[in-house]
Structure 1
Amino acid sequence: MRFRFCWDVDCPDWLLAEITTLSKLTSVKLRLLTGNVAKAIYGPTLSYDVVTKLAKDAKLDEPGAKAVVAAVRWVLESAAGAGVTANILDSELQQLGLPKEHAAAITKVYTEHQEALQQHLKSTSLKVRGETTWSCDVVGVDVGDGNLSPVVKLSLHDESKCIQKGQDQESATKAATSIVLTPDQLQALIHEMTEARRLMEGLH
């Protein structure tokens, strides 16, 4: 089933798993947590005390509390990025199994912070001006379970930025934005980028 706050794709399995945990919190505590997480997305970093207090109040271990925080953050960022209304988010969270009062707690905070969240996402999105080029190199091997796998390095070069700064070719290479991926990660990236392109084309 596709959800608009998930950008019209299926809800991630890990998020579905956390819905049950979110349901165990009281709606009041979930609202307070969501408010703190929302502010931390575009403001000061979330206080570690919030996580430890959540773990204590909800009788969660520390990894469990961090997973809950990650789930709330993902919901807020995804909904804001997809530009869904509070009513849609409320309905879809309930479809995922979140109790009505819990969904209302999240959507109320989302309504209060939606504009700030969207402005933050716009300002921090990857933006490239001018001519850009990609390069791909096999830079080593990843040893896991006795198996050898190639590690791929993808680099994005913003040529206009290099020219403006007067960088030579060697400096420009060092300044490139790069990520290193295993074959499985590369295939996952290709799949996600292909899906993103399909969704973008559907907006025209």
Structure 2
Amino acid sequence: MRFAFVGGLDVPDWLLSQMFVLSKMSVVKFKVLCKQVLMQASGAPVDEQKFAKLLSDGKLESHEVKGAVAALHFIFLSSARYDVAEETLGEELQQLGLPKEHTEALVIALRDGRAPLRQHLADASLRLSKLESLRWRVSEDVGSARAHAADLQLTVRAPAALGTSVAPPERLLKMRLSADTLSLLHAELLKARELVPAPK
């Protein structure tokens, strides 16, 4: 059976097995766990001691706790990614065996945290390398009659990975363009600048 919260695909087997584990938790602990996992998925700092205290429940073994956190994390990210309606998500989770009270708690937590989660996902996607420096010079190509070429030297830096403050190393790119190729590149870049709105 296909489910909207996983993009119209079948639910992974590991997630199905975690539904039983999630249903063993009390509703109160489940609500708090949902909020903590949602905060973590949104990139917000999480109180590790509160997290550990919450999960130190005699009913669950350590591997079950890890599986439950992974399952909630997957459900939140996947639901936000595919922009699943709350009613649809609730119905699908109940079809998978999650009790109604647990489902309602999860849906309410997602309703409250959907905007920051989607913003975090948007910030984490389509991040382009930053141009650090550009050097160029025009030279006469010795091989052909009075042809000119442009030597470009670009230094770019990829964006830092989310959750880290360590900047990745710079990359040096060198290229030689003929006068015709440089003119074509310049025209294409001007056209692209017209089409793409300036950042606000």
Q: Is the 8 A contact 1:51 1:62 kept in 2?
A: no
Aligned with 1:172: secondary structure? strand
Cα 1:173/1:22, change in 2 over 3 Å: farther
Question: Are the structure 2 counterparts of residues 167 and 105 from structure 1 closer, same or farther at C-alpha, using a change threshold of 3 Å?
Answer: same
Q: Deviation string for 1:44-101 (max 9, x for gaps)?
A: 3433334432432252222221211111111001000100111111111001111111
Count of residue correspondences: 143
What do residues 132-154 of structure 1 show as CA deviations (whole Å, max 9, x unaligned)?
xxxxxxxxxxxxxxxxxxxxxxx
| 1:172 paired residue number | 171
**Contact 2:155/2:172 (<8 A) preserved:** no
> Does the 8 A contact of 1:55 with 1:64 survive in 2?
no
1:172 Cα deviation after fit: 3.5
**Mapping of 1:90-129 within 5 angstroms?**
90-128=90-128
RMSD: 2.7
More helix by share: 1
Report the CA distance shift for 1:50/1:7 in structure 2 as closer, same or farther (over 3 A): farther
Secondary structure (helix, strand or coil) at the match of 2:56 reads: helix
Question: What is the TM-score of this pair, normalised by structure 2?
Answer: 0.63
Q: Give the match for residue 80 of structure 2.
A: 80
TM-score, length-scaled by structure 1 = 0.62
Unaligned runs of 5+ residues in structure 2 are 135-152, 157-169, 174-200
Number of the residue aligned with 2:17: 17
Larger radius of gyration: 2
Which portions of structure 1, spanning 4 or more consecutive aligned residues, are displaced by more than 3 angstroms?
43-48, 160-165, 171-174
Aligned to 2:184: none
